[in-house]
């Protein structure tokens, strides 16, 4: 009985792994694809917030005084806020499924400064069940502000899944509210 259960579990696992195994690069997707758009996107930005003063810490009131009994304290938090963003992307896919995806986003950082963020993702793309599965094996993310700040960091490994449509010279990737229509470029 125990042997039969183990064999049944092993057979079910083999069938399941075959059913969800992704095919190599999406047929017809090899080549260079481009996309550009602009609109509202959520961007992480620092914000000054007045929060209730709970506990024994010093607080400040709107007049700026400090001391026990103040009803609020001022904190700086990072939160997602909607901003006008200009986005351009280039997706290069090789016949063997290797890809390089460059994403450039520009938005206001301050009234007189523009922030440009560039992500370059590298890895392997496969298809399965109408989805494009991007296995990001590495890459970089950098930012440059027109006011002089800049920096670079490595991207962590990740897997991204998108609903995929490939027809008529268009490669459409969508996930949740995001929908990007690429054209050959």
CA dist., res. 167 & res. 178, Å (int): 19
Residues 6+ apart with CB under 8 A from 46: 76, 77, 78
User: Is residue 48 in some structural domain?
Assistant: no
Confidence at residue 96, expressed as pLDDT on a 0 to 100 scale: 93
Give tens-digit pLDDT for 8-59. 334 444 433 333 344 566 778 899 999 999 888 888 877 787 777 665 555 4
User: Is residue 28 in some structural domain?
Assistant: yes
Question: CB count, 10 Å around CB of 139?
Answer: 19
User: Is residue 101 in some structural domain?
Assistant: yes
Residues 6+ apart with CB under 8 A from 179: 172, 173
Is residue 109 within 8 Å of 118, Cβ to Cβ? Answer: no
User: Is residue 160 in some structural domain?
Assistant: yes
Q: What is the pTM of this model?
A: 0.71
Would you say how long the chain is, in residues?
185
User: Is residue 49 in some structural domain?
Assistant: no
CA dist., res. 87 & res. 150, Å (int): 19
User: Is residue 51 in some structural domain?
Assistant: no
**Closest alpha carbon to 143 in 172, 167, 169, 118:** 118
Range of the domain at 123: 23-39+86-184
Number of domains in the chain: 1
- Beta strands (DSSP E) in the chain are 31-52, 59-60, 66-67, 72-93, 98-110, 113-128, 131-145, 150-154, 158-167, 170-175, 178-184
Give tens-digit pLDDT for 125-181. 998 888 999 999 999 999 999 998 899 999 999 999 999 999 888 999 999 888 999
CATH number at residue 149: 2.40.128.500
User: Is residue 116 in some structural domain?
Assistant: yes
User: Is residue 8 in some structural domain?
Assistant: no
């Amino acid at each position: 009985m125990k042997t039969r259960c183990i064999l049944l579990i092993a057979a079910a696992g083999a069938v399941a792994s075959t059913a969800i195994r992704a095919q190599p690069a999406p047929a017809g997707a090899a080549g260079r694809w481009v996309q550009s758009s602009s609109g509202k996107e959520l961007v992480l930005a620092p914000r000054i917030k007045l929060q209730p003063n709970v506990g024994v810490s010093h607080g400040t009131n709107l007049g700026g005084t400090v001391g026990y009994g103040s009803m609020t304290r001022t904190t700086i938090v990072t939160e997602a806020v909607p901003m006008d963003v200009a986005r351009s992307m280039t997706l290069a896919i090789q016949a063997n499924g290797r890809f390089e995806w460059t994403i450039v986003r520009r938005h206001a950082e301050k009234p007189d400064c523009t922030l440009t963020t560039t992500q370059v993702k590298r890895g392997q793309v496969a298809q399965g069940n109408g989805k494009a599965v991007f296995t990001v094996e590495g890459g970089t993310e950098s930012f440059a502000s027109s006011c002089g700040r800049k920096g670079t960091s490595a991207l962590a490994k990740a897997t991204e899944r998108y609903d995929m449509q490939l027809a008529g010279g268009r490669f459409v990737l969508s996930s949740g509210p995001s929908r990007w229509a690429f054209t050959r470029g």
